[in-house]
Structure 1
């Protein structure tokens, strides 16, 4: 068993499974750097978790994600503690939770390809082209709201509201349902955080959301429109509508992944620019750098902290014996600071090229919404840098306690808006 050396005042290896580790970016990356320096892969045994393999190197994660026959997404996408698994079974009344919801991220092989193709053309640059003006309009609207706050705000509210409205507009869901969608996201994807989780777990909000999704499906089947909800509701495989649990899962993954990760990229990106004022000024002086800056923000923030793969056979992997059924945890923050891939990986640079980050993953399961996220980030950052004259951090930024999805959850700012806009 490989094990990194424990050093006083540093986190032990098993801390990689602790939600609190992810609330301290410096200590997280110190730990991940130690992993990368000591071995290709690490067997982790943490209290309340099944043992798992931690994969921290960029090249190794690439290899595993592209080998989708030996390393599959089912039956788990994220690392769950034994306590969380028990709670999910209780929520599902003792049945496999997949009996009431399955999503495309948890499918493999031809089934995954078939379900992905239902909306894939909608999320290509060509498919999104007609929405660019709407996205830019929403970006301007939320910077207007920031301006109306009178010079101080928690930027996390802007960052959370904007991509949520974008994806709800794409789905054709009215704004009055956004609070429910936000609660659903926070109480599932970031449910380990004490500020975001519900004391009774995600059951109540999930069933409330599923009720909304079911009503949307019925409405779009009766009166189809040109929105994304109509595409999903009326999709057919082998001549039949999607089963209920797959429909619910599709709505769930689009509604949650469609905004949460982009929100954390925005808060983390603005924080990085303010902590690196020379880079912010470089961006202000040359807005054509925005697409390049977005790639660096995605590398720097890595909103998805990991995905899991499960081995389908016994194999030798990076010098270790992996058994069928073993869990592999792919660490994206680690891959995106890999010293063998990135020059000065702990330096934030809006001019970094090349930038082969893995914030969206790769292989068959590469993020479906990657182009939407890029469009949203460019639009909001363009408004932000062009309409603010001076910005400073006015309080202590705080981060999500969570091993799956997260980033900066509070970012207090003080600012002066420009004379135009």
Structure 2
């Protein structure tokens, strides 16, 4: 039942998520110990859930497996103690949808859900297409080489979600920097702590980043209450639950989740899709030949990249998962990137295949916590590649891709490419 120490240590090592070693550990676990207990030094023991079926089973039982009772991202004991002292007992520095359970989760999700439903985002098609075309033109202006992450993948979804949220364009660089500092806190190039002083559990820099977010959005919130607009910031600033305005802390948490997850994961998948085209010329030819294949290509890029690697759950009662007894209070790590490479579900899981059908990828989660922005994310990526592929005659790597060192949300931070436009 206990996972070998070397594998357990890999699961909490940010470098393993950058160099791909995590996938070797996942493959070993699926084959040998698909639901075992990890006990890395300094951490409370936790179950590592690596099979697609078990992740689904837990995700559909939201009353039995809570998000909010313990930390929703893997946190060591020292950090957990520090956070609880700071918050008066809560394991969370923010209180967003991610940290909520019933009945609050459904109430707070309903506040913005309409904005992200397919029937509403279809009206954004032309606005998003214009942004996509501008991104393609910026890439074309670079000549024959660029860093696709820094020139296109970071800025395109950022601009889309900030326009919807209501953040002025001149503030987008600040939002990007803060997002990278938050999700890349353990990366030596992205984190705020100098020279990667931040390690899992060193949450001082994360608190500082959140404080900057809160300071920024407090002004936005005050403005929207005084001067409502047709944007998501106004919805959040003026939202009521159970007949009262949501608290300032809840509003700030809502802004942060939209302003970070709303673009960072889409950026990662957009870049991962381009890397797949560079590394698989046959897939580039296949998708370019018929643009109706772009949605399938995007689904495969989502599976392949899986930017949100893990989320934590805790058992509210004794339970069984995959035949294994789980005790009340146990902590479980849902390893989405492992589920998305599960040999029992995906034929040739380690191959990128734009024609994969069905594609039962889990990157957006499942059940009540299914990603609110999944339809918008897919739409953004589809539109960008619909605009880009007809112009792109050839593309290849022009250097070594670099991944971020992060346990929770990780993706490409650099993708040098060489290309030819028509």
Per the alignment, residue 126 of structure 1 pairs with: 119
Per the alignment, residue 206 of structure 2 pairs with: 202
Per the alignment, residue 36 of structure 2 pairs with: 42
Per the alignment, residue 275 of structure 1 pairs with: 279
Q: Quickly say closer, same or farther: Cα 1:316–1:352, change in 2 above 3 A.
A: closer
Deviation, 1:169, is 0.3
Q: Quickly say closer, same or farther: Cα 1:162–1:96, change in 2 above 3 A.
A: farther
Q: Deviations over 1:294-335 (max 9, x none)?
A: 111101111110111011122333343322221100001110
Q: Distance in 1 between matches of 2:89 and 2:176?
A: 25
What's the secondary structure of 1:181's corresponding residue?
helix
Q: Is residue 109 from structure 1 mapped to residue 102 from structure 2 by the alignment?
A: yes
Per the alignment, residue 139 of structure 2 pairs with: 146
Tell me, yes or no, if the aligned pair for 1:73 and 1:310 is still in contact at 8 Å.
yes
Deviation, 1:205, is 2.7
Tell me, yes or no, if the aligned pair for 1:40 and 1:318 is still in contact at 8 Å.
no
Give the root-mean-square deviation of aligned CA atoms: 1.8
What's the secondary structure of 1:390's corresponding residue?
strand
Deviation, 1:87, is 5.8
Per the alignment, residue 364 of structure 1 pairs with: 368
Q: Is residue 350 from structure 1 mapped to residue 343 from structure 2 by the alignment?
A: no
Q: Distance in 1 between matches of 2:358 and 2:278?
A: 23
Moved more, 296-305 or 126-135: 126-135
What's the secondary structure of 1:391's corresponding residue?
strand
Deviation, 1:64, is 0.2
Q: Is residue 306 from structure 1 mapped to residue 310 from structure 2 by the alignment?
A: yes
Deviation, 1:81, is 2.5
> For 2:165, which of 171, 174, 191 is the aligned residue?
171
Q: Distance in 2 between matches of 1:88 and 1:177?
A: 29
Deviation, 1:244, is 0.8
Per the alignment, residue 187 of structure 1 pairs with: 181
Q: Is residue 216 from structure 1 mapped to residue 202 from structure 2 by the alignment?
A: no
Deviation, 1:179, is 2.0
Tell me, yes or no, if the aligned pair for 2:83 and 2:92 is still in contact at 8 Å.
no
Alignment of 1:253-402 (within 5 A): 253-402=257-406
Q: Distance in 1 between matches of 2:90 and 2:253?
A: 11
Moved more, 62-71 or 142-151: 142-151
What's the secondary structure of 2:48's corresponding residue?
strand
Tell me, yes or no, if the aligned pair for 2:83 and 2:91 is still in contact at 8 Å.
no
Tell me, yes or no, if the aligned pair for 1:72 and 1:309 is still in contact at 8 Å.
yes
Q: Deviations over 1:17-52 (max 9, x none)?
A: 111110122x22221111001133010011222211
Tell me, yes or no, if the aligned pair for 1:193 and 1:402 is still in contact at 8 Å.
yes
> For 1:412, which of 385, 394, 416 is the aligned residue?
416
Per the alignment, residue 19 of structure 2 pairs with: 24
> For 2:156, which of 131, 151, 162 is the aligned residue?
162
What's the secondary structure of 2:320's corresponding residue?
strand
Tell me, yes or no, if the aligned pair for 2:71 and 2:91 is still in contact at 8 Å.
no
TM-score by length of 2: 0.93
Q: Distance in 2 between matches of 1:363 and 1:191?
A: 29
- Listed as ranges, the gaps of 5+ residues in structure 2 are 194-203
What's the secondary structure of 1:386's corresponding residue?
coil
What's the secondary structure of 1:176's corresponding residue?
helix
Tell me, yes or no, if the aligned pair for 1:135 and 1:166 is still in contact at 8 Å.
yes
- Listed as ranges, the gaps of 5+ residues in structure 1 are none
Moved more, 327-336 or 172-181: 172-181
Q: Deviations over 1:267-303 (max 9, x none)?
A: 1111111111101101110111001111111011111
Tell me, yes or no, if the aligned pair for 2:95 and 2:250 is still in contact at 8 Å.
yes
Q: Distance in 1 between matches of 2:360 and 2:34?
A: 19
Q: Distance in 1 between matches of 2:54 and 2:93?
A: 34
Tell me, yes or no, if the aligned pair for 1:180 and 1:205 is still in contact at 8 Å.
no
TM-score by length of 1: 0.93
Q: Deviations over 1:346-382 (max 9, x none)?
A: 1111111000110101100000000010001101112
What's the secondary structure of 1:253's corresponding residue?
helix
What's the secondary structure of 1:77's corresponding residue?
coil
Shift >3 Å, 4+ stretches: 82-90, 94-101
Per the alignment, residue 54 of structure 2 pairs with: 60
